[in-house]
Structure 1
Amino acid sequence: MYEGALGDLVDELGRLPGIGPKSAQRIAFHILGTDKADVDRLAEALRVVKERVRFCEICGNVATEEKCRICRDARRTDEMICVVEEPKDVIAIERTGEFRGRYHVLGGAINPLDGVGPEDLRIRELMTRLQAGVTKELVIATDPNTEGEATATYLALMITPMGLTVSRLASGLPVGGDLEYADEVTLGRAFEGRRTVQQ
C-alpha cells in the first residue's frame, strides 16, 4: 500500500503480536508526526532492551543480570515454585502480592497444532530444579485454555510421582461478573473450585 520507508515501517509494525494492518498504519503515522527526539528515545529504548535484557538463568524470567530480581531475593521461599507460561504471567501474579515463592517460566505451552511439544519448553530445567529436593509444592499457573490445560496435565503426571504437592490455580467467575454471561466451562470450574464460607 505504502512505498519506501513508510511502507517498510508499516510492514515491520504489522509483524508485532496484536498489531493488525490498521494499527500498524496508525502507529506509523503517529511516529511520522512525532518529534525526532521522541523517535530517537523510542529507538534507543528498543536498542537497549535488545542489548541488556535477557532471561534469568534459573527461572527464565526477564532479567538485566544473570539472575532476575525474584531469584536474587533472599526473602523468597524455595519451598514453592509457581510455573507460568510467559514472563508477563510473573508480572500478573506479582501484582497480587499473594505469592512469596519462586517462579519457573516455561516459555510457552504444549500446542501440537503449532508444533510445540514438551521438549520445546523449559521442562527439563524445571525437573533439574525440583531434583535439588528443596521444593515441596509446585503451583501450576498455566493459562486456562486447551494448551494450558494440556501443559498442566503433562506436568502433573511427571511431577506427582516425585512426592511433591502439585496444585493448580483455581479458575472461575471474575469479580464483578454476572452469572448469566459466564460460559459453561467457566461456571463448571467455579463449582469445582468452590470453598466453604467462613462463619
Structure 2
Amino acid sequence: MQMDSDLVIYRTTLVRTFQVVTICRVGLMAPVGTIFQDLMDIKRNQREHDSKLTALDGQISAIRNEQLDFQTKIAADILSLSTQISDIANFIRSGDAIKGEVGSSSRRPPIHVERRPLPTPQASVDDQSDRDIAGSGGAVHITGGGTFAERVERARRQFIESGLVISVEEATERVIEADRRESDRLERERARERREKRLSRSSASKRRRGF
C-alpha cells in the first residue's frame, strides 16, 4: 500500500510539472513570435533601403555622366572659340594688302553683274561640316575646311561668282553667322543624345526595381 501511495504522489507530481512546462511554453510563444515578426520587418525594410540606394546610385551616375558631357562640350566650345579668335586676329594683322584691295574696290564704280542662280549642291552624309550662307544673291554653299581667313576669302569669292559683290568684312560676318548656326545645330544634337541616354538609364533602373 505504501508503494501505491508513492506512485500516486509521483504521478501527480509529474502531471503538475508537465502542466507548468506547458504553461511556460505557451507564455513564451507570444514573445518569440513577436521577435520573429520584428526580424522579418527589419529584413523587409533593409531590402527596401537597398533598392532605394541602388536607384540613387543610378541617378548619381546619370548626373555624373551629364556633368562630364557638359564639361566636354564647354572645353570643345572654348577651344573652337579660341581658334576662331586666333584666326581672326591673324587675319586682321595680315590684312594690309586686303585693306588696300578693299579700299581700291570701294572706289571703283559699281559693277553690274547679271545674277543667275547657281545649282544647289546636294549635301552628302560624309560632309557634315558644309554650311549654307544665305545672302540677297542666293545661297552660297561653302565647306568648313581651312583657316578662318581662307574660308572668308572663299565665301567672298563664291558670293561674287553668284552675282553679289560684298566686302571682306561682310563675308567675315556671314562666315561667323554660319559657324554660330552650325554650333547651335550641334548643341541640339547633343541635347537630344543626352535626353535619349537619360530615358534609357531610367528604363533600365525601373527594370532593375521590378516595375
TM-score by length of 1: 0.20
Higher percent of residues as strand: 1
Report the structure number with the largest CA radius of gyration: 2
Higher percent of residues as helix: 2
